[in-house]
Amino acid sequence: MALSLTINGEVFASRRDPMTPLIDVLREDLALTGAKAVCREGFCGACMVLIDGRPAVSCLTPIALAEGRDIRTIEGLGRDGEPTPLQQALEAQDVVQCGMCFPGMVVTLTAFLAAEPGATRDEIKRALVGNICRCTGYERIIDAALVCAAGARD
């Protein structure tokens, strides 16, 4: 039996084993390669997507648990090819290095800043506990998130 997955507003039928990690369907079947399968353990956050608006590690989400829910990947965040204000802030502040962690960082921060537009530096750090970056040292990512949050408040 096929499972019905709603990804970035489009409905897909998947005939995969219901215990297949969502990340594999995204990358291998739908060519949505923004989310990365790095640790497959829930530790690094590189595979983060939004499920019903909340950050979820797609490496530990069997598609059976994603059926009928609103799945949004990094590819589905911008509008009409325009980067989001957060993506623009990250680019403007020249934060990105190798970029491996960034789709996951953006997904986590998008949901977090929407819920907590007045977040402090410490709160942003706590929100990013499940997103690991090997390159940047984090501080500039948080600077950009704070700039973005301040922009949204003004």
Partner 1 sequence: MRNARFVCMPRSVEEAVAAVVEGGANPLAGATWILRAPLRGEALAEGYAVLGGAEDLCAVEIGEAGIRIGAAVTHAALSVALVGVEGFVGLAQAASEAANPAVREVATVGGNLCAAGFAASDLAPALIAAGAEVEIHSAAGVERQSVEAFLAARATRPPGWLMTRIFAPCSARLSAHARLPLRQAGDYPVAILSLSIERRADGAIASARVAVGSVEPVARRWPGLEQALEGQTLDPDAAAEWARARLGDFEGRDGVEAPGWYRTQVLPGLARAAFRSLRAQV
The contact set with partner 1 (CB under 8 A) reads: 17-19, 21, 40-43, 45, 48, 54-57, 59-62, 64-65, 108, 126-127, 129-130, 132
Binding status of residue 107 toward ligand FES by CB under 6 A: no
Q: Which is nearer to ligand FES, 92 or 98 (CB)?
A: 98
Least distance (Å) from ligand FES to the CB of residue 95?
8
Handedness of CA 94, 131, 39, 78 (dihedral sign): negative
Matching residue, tokens 């403007």:
92
Binding status of residue 43 toward ligand FAD by CB under 6 A: yes
Least distance (Å) from ligand FAD to the CB of residue 42?
3
Cβ–Cβ under 8 Å, residues 8 and 53: no
Binding status of residue 150 toward ligand FAD by CB under 6 A: no
Q: Retrieve residue 119's tokens.
A: 């977040």
Cβ–Cβ under 8 Å, residues 145 and 86: yes
Cα 106 from chain centre: 5
Instruction: Give the interface with ligand FAD as residue ranges (CB under 6 A).
Output: 41-43, 60
